[in-house]
Amino acid sequence: MTAATVSRALSDHPEISAKTKAIVKETAQRLDYKANRIASSLRSGKTNVIGVLIPTAENAFFGSVIHGITNLASKHGYSVLIHECDELYELEVKGIQTFIGARVDGIIASLSRNTLDYEHFLDVKRRNIPLVFFDRVPNLDIPSVVIDGFNGSFWATQHLIDQGYKRIAHISGPLYINTFNDRFRGYEAALKANNIALDKNLIYNGNISIESGMEGTRQLLELPEPPDAIFVAEDFTALGILKQLKISKINVPEQFGVFGFCNDMFSEHTTPSLSTMDQQTVLMGQEAFKLLNRIIENGNEESSSRIVVTPLPVIRESSLKKNY
């Protein structure tokens, strides 16, 4: 039996008989044979590995997106190499270099909050490595999967208005990141639609953390005319808001409304439970992989591809003033 026949049998080639495949696989198992994926990739030009770059592993959002990616990737014969950046630009660059060195077939990425220089991603494109962004995307002509943050934020702010809250503040994420800028614009548009003037004193630029939520809330409560509700760009910051309101002995939602964005795992377990927008994270991961896979298989850039996922409102206790 030739080496070529053995290789084809191990790969389930249709031209190899079932009897020969069984003999080869039984022998391979007995000898504890493991295929040399590096040698195989050099022959085929493919590694059947994709890289996924995430800014942080501290919140469930990115873990849930990864679940959506890996579930579909596995069904298509891909392994997934994951690199977490701890929200640091330097680690993001290192992750991209690692993926290039590993000869991945494609990359799915979401920006770290400190990333302002995109040269490492442009290098990926120059190397003709398929690249797709999700959630946090740069202002580049590269395929992406994003949430409809504008309309989701408009809906959340309108809900607070409909519940009878009068002075609605906003604690944002870094506004140079598209995700958080969209959410700010949705908040602003909802105020305008209800003939409510935008008060810049009610805007606090946060940094995606519990501490940011607590500090922003403290500063907002010290205003001569403090807010009676906050729409916040994401749920970790919302958790900080709820903590500070409890410290300040302000009852939620009777005296103060809070509405988040993400529907993180802890959101239904806070006291009171947190109203928020569900980002359909598993779907986002699946759409990101499907887009990348199309680019890998078709060999084209699909540079104009932008898939928008619709967020779903999840109404809980923290915004239901009319119940009291």
The candidate with the shortest Cα–Cα distance to 310, out of 151, 162, 186, 154, is: 151
Q: Are residues 225 and 125 part of one domain?
A: no
pLDDT at residue 215, rounded to an integer: 98
pLDDT at residue 299, rounded to an integer: 75
Adjacency order of strands within the sheet including 49-54: 79-84, 49-54, 106-109, 131-134, 144-147, 306-309
Q: Are residues 160 and 304 part of one domain?
A: no
pLDDT at residue 15, rounded to an integer: 66
CA distances from 73 to 97, 135, 186, 285 (A): 22, 19, 34, 10
294 belongs to a structural domain:
yes
**What's the structural domain count of the chain?**
2
pLDDT at residue 252, rounded to an integer: 98
pLDDT tens track of the chain, all 324 residues?
676 665 666 666 666 787 777 776 777 677 666 554 544 444 446 899 999 999 999 888 999 999 999 999 999 999 999 999 999 999 999 999 999 999 999 999 999 999 999 999 999 999 999 999 999 999 898 999 999 999 999 999 999 999 999 999 999 999 999 999 999 999 999 999 999 999 999 999 999 999 999 999 999 999 999 999 999 999 999 999 999 999 999 999 999 999 999 999 999 999 999 999 999 999 999 999 999 999 999 876 555 689 999 999 999 999 999 887
2 belongs to a structural domain:
no
Q: Are residues 216 and 243 part of one domain?
A: yes
Q: Are residues 206 and 262 part of one domain?
A: yes
Q: Are residues 319 and 246 part of one domain?
A: yes
Q: Are residues 243 and 194 part of one domain?
A: yes
Q: Are residues 204 and 300 part of one domain?
A: no
Which residue type does 97 have? Answer: Q
pLDDT at residue 9, rounded to an integer: 66
* DSSP states along 6-30: HHHHHTT-TTS-HHHHHHHHHHHHH
For residue 253, say if its preceding peptide bond is cis, omega within 30 degrees of 0. yes
pLDDT at residue 35, rounded to an integer: 54
Q: Are residues 289 and 273 part of one domain?
A: no
245 belongs to a structural domain:
yes
223 belongs to a structural domain:
yes
77 belongs to a structural domain:
yes
Q: Are residues 140 and 167 part of one domain?
A: no
Q: Are residues 228 and 214 part of one domain?
A: yes
16 belongs to a structural domain:
no
- List the domain range (segments joined by +) for residue 136: 48-147+281-310
pLDDT at residue 26, rounded to an integer: 77
Q: Are residues 220 and 239 part of one domain?
A: yes
How far apart are the C-alpha atoms of 152 and 70, rounded to whole Å?
Answer: 27
User: In CATH, what number is assigned to the domain containing residue 171?
Assistant: 3.40.50.2300
